[in-house]
Amino acid sequence: METVNIKGKYFEKYITNEEINSIVKSLSQRINEDYFGKEIYFLVILNGAFLFASDLFKQIKGLPRINFIKVSSYSGISSSGKVNELIGLNEDITGKDVIIIEDIVDTGNTMEELLKLLKTKEPSSLEICSLMLKPNSFKKDFNIKYIGKEISDEFIVGYGFDLDGYGRNLKDIYQLKRKADK
């Protein structure tokens, strides 16, 4: 399937499942090297990062721990950039090596707020692993240690990314077609 129609919008295949698997493998190898002999505590941001986190987690050595969190930062269809609520962090992360697993970082507004909140919990270390980064949108002053792939600002669906809840199940990632291409 080279093109998909979701809610009247057309998306074309952008990143194949094979490329995604290669990206995930590369990220897991880096994390395994950096955290050799250490216990890692993963915080997965739902909903979008669940497929990525599952594939990554299966390739991590040792006995890592994982927890799923949700942040509320949306007002309608656009992000307010402010974390209104953090849902699911019910364990103490004090003194732990924490890696936040995110599907995509674009402006970085929500992640910046989340980092401020998590730093108050005093983890030993706090890093970010994002499958995708939109560097043209990202203007913040924090480090994303593990970046799978930098992409353009076009809207994407598939492999956990969605349009109003649709398209997360697609094994490849699709990019919104420009109207002139239609």
Residues in contact with 52: Cβ distance below 8 Å, sequence separation at least 6, in sequence order: 24, 101, 103, 131, 159, 160
Radius of gyration of the chain from its Cα atoms, rounded to whole angstroms: 16
Active site residue 106: yes
Q: What is the DSSP track for 59-114?
A: T--S--EEEEEEEE-EETTEE-SS--EEES--S--TT-EEEEEEEEESS-HHHHHH
Q: How many CB atoms lie within 10 A of CB 52?
A: 26
Of 55, 106, 162, 172, which one is the catalytic site residue?
106
Beta strands 9-15; 173-176: pairing state: antiparallel
Q: How many CB atoms lie within 10 A of CB 174?
A: 26
Which amino acids are annotated catalytic?
A: 106
